[in-house]
Amino acid sequence: MRRVFATTLLLAASLSFAPGPHAQQPPLILQAMQDEMKRAMDGLRLKDEPPPYYIAYAIEDTASMRLLTKLGALVDDSTGRGRMLRVEVRVGDYTFDSSRFFGGFDSDPGILPVYAQYMLAVPLDDDYDVMRRQMWLATDIAYKHAVQSLSKKKAAAESHVADPEPIPDFSKETPTETMLPAPFAPPPLAGSAWTDDLRRISAVFLAYPDLNSSEASLSESRGIRYYLNSEGFKVVEPFASASLRVAADTQADDGMVLRDSFAVTARSVKDLPAASELLARAQDLAARLTSLRTAPIGEDFTGPVLVEGQAASVLLAQTLVPLFLSQRAPEMDGPAGAAMSRLPLSPFLTRIGARVLPEGFSVADTPSLQRFGDAPVPASYVVDEDGVRAKDVPLVQDGRLMTLLTGRTPQKRLLQSNGHERGGGAQAAVFQMESARGVPAADLKGKYLELLKAQGRPFGYIVRAVVDSGELQMSSYDEIDMDDMESMFSMLMVGGMPGAPRVGPPLARVVKVLPDGTEQPVRGLNFANVQFTSYRTIAEASRERTLYTCYPSAGMSLAVSMPMSMQSPILSLVVPNLLFEELEIQRGKDVPLKPPVVASPLKK
């Protein structure tokens, strides 16, 4: 099996520190942004070429740290501080501009281009002149490339038949200022206080020599984001995130690799569960994974499936949530590019008003929700990456699709932003699902057994946890299975087609249940062919709902631009347990690996 090594620094943006007394913001960063933007808007123009009609600057001042422990030993203790500038320049007008075009061009050294947005480090010292110089460099190259892109985009448009109902390239929005209480610099990081606790958590795995690898890691970031554009949008906001992950893997005697993990994401380290609770969860994980080595391999199955807790959240995050994102394909050179630009990347776009869930079900994305019960909601936020205020959006009412989540890239019937531009495209933040006909969670298994009996099924499956592929983003110096990466890429490129199946996540904890209720753990199974029509077969849902926060996988969104610091926005879900009348579960297709030649030195 092919493997690659990946190093990823986790920096997840979310609404953060509790507001304190609002100190006067140091004006230097904003002043430098304002002065250079005015100069660019007034004088940036090549001979015989149009000037920019839109410029946006964003700076993130971020402090971050990461702890990684294995078997009680600290193997990574890293901290960093940086300021990253993003510049976006558009040439043309709101109807037709230089954005949304892949044409390829050379990049100047030292400046990172990310689909028409250009990033460059700015000084940590509040040096006005150096900041202006960095903004000038990035703005100059962004403008030149925007001019090239507009010319190529016009040529590409002339090579194919014009759309009879053209859609604007950029939406006009009412400018707002969002100035949230923020400190002068990122506050001190608190994660280092967890070093000893993290060692103790990872030391749990010393007692389980059949596990091949294991780790406990903690990532924390805190910072301030400054945003300004030529329309008059202005943002100053703090952000923070803390994520703790515990993971392990082992092999069955037949060579099958088995993985399990859990992750907790919060706004700050103080919101993480107590170390004693995490220690107990790590012990349960180690014992469960060791026991799974001798469990039988599950059988292929198509029929009723009960999906609970974390499994329901991740299944929805990877296969349902992406359908609610308003996506629009970029323009590209050549005939293939013309065909690509007409691809409907939002399968639900043509289904607004139609039934997509059973009667009684409602879905909404509510970034304003800061607490669910006694727990904070990490993914809540006030303003999106374009400076547009976040809106709570009802997506499904009584089973019928009402609208989609949008940023400032218009789509047919969805011409305005509802404040969901995050991570370079329209993204969900606090995704809620509930059923007006929900039943107590304790009654769902009984209803499932009744359904199996009514259909004459000899067995069924209850899925309680899945492998969260979004956690790949949380790893550092980890081995990532290339087959997993290819599956995620396939989901990204193909999963957006209307009616196309979306590959569901592998199952980490699943039991085979007999008609009498007897449960037997099994291994080696995946969700398969999860289509949007699968969600119409939900027969029951629990009244109780669970809050779970994750990092969406690569298939979450086909963004037409990337965020300035390559961050992935977190997603909080508040969803019930779900009883499907029909889901497809298949044996995994991974090639078994040979076990280590020599036994682990931990075996006595």
Question: Does position 116 have pLDDT exceeding 80, yes or no?
Answer: no
The answer to whether the CB of 541 falls within 8 A of the CB of 576 is: yes
Residue 379, both tokens: 């993914």
pLDDT in tens, 6-31: 322 333 333 333 333 334 445 799 99
Q: Are strands 101-102 and 525-528 parallel, antiparallel or unpaired?
A: unpaired
Residue 441, both tokens: 């969670």
Q: At what angle do helices 275-292 and 195-203 cross, to 10 degrees?
A: 20
Q: From CA 40, how far away is CA 139, in angstroms rounded?
A: 8
Q: State the pLDDT at residue 399.
A: 97
Q: State the pLDDT at residue 592.
A: 72
Conformation bin of residue 413: beta by default, left when phi > 0, alpha when psi is -120 to 50: left
What are the backbone angles phi and psi of residue 399, rounded to the nearest 5°? 90, -10
The answer to whether the CB of 447 falls within 8 A of the CB of 579 is: yes
Residue type, 567: Q
Residue type, 361: F
Q: From CA 27, how far away is CA 20, in angstroms rounded?
A: 19
29: helix, strand or coil: helix
Please give the residue that has the higher pLDDT: either 573 or 330.
Answer: 573
Q: State the pLDDT at residue 259.
A: 92
Residue 24, both tokens: 């006067």
Percent share of the chain, pLDDT over 70: 82
Highest mean pLDDT among 25-29, 173-177, 409-413: 173-177
User: What rounded mean pLDDT belongs to the chain?
Assistant: 85
Question: Does position 153 have pLDDT exceeding 60, yes or no?
Answer: yes
Averaged pLDDT for residues 210-232: 95
Question: Does position 122 have pLDDT exceeding 80, yes or no?
Answer: yes
Query: How many Cα atoms within 13 Å fall on the side-chain side of residue 248?
Result: 29
Q: To the nearest 10°, the Cα dihedral for 303, 309, 312, 317?
A: -170
Q: From CA 316, how far away is CA 148, in angstroms rounded?
A: 40
Residue 600: Cβ within 10 Å count:
11
Residue holding tokens 């037409």? Answer: 560
Averaged pLDDT for residues 234-253: 95
Among 320, 340, 321, 322, CA closest to 330: 340
Please give the residue that has the higher pLDDT: either 13 or 551.
Answer: 551
Q: From CA 208, how far away is CA 435, in angstroms rounded?
A: 42
User: Per the confidence metrics, is the pTM higher than 0.85?
Assistant: yes
Pick the range with the lowest mean pLDDT from 102-116, 270-284, 373-387. 102-116
pLDDT in tens, 449-508: 999 999 999 999 999 999 876 554 434 334 434 344 344 433 333 344 444 445 567 899
Architecture of the domain made up of 3-292: 2-Layer Sandwich (3.30)
Question: Does position 338 have pLDDT exceeding 90, yes or no?
Answer: no
pLDDT in tens, 280-315: 999 999 999 999 999 999 999 999 999 999 999 999
Residue 99, both tokens: 């954005």
Residue type, 255: G
pLDDT in tens, 34-80: 999 999 999 999 999 999 999 999 999 999 999 999 999 999 999 99
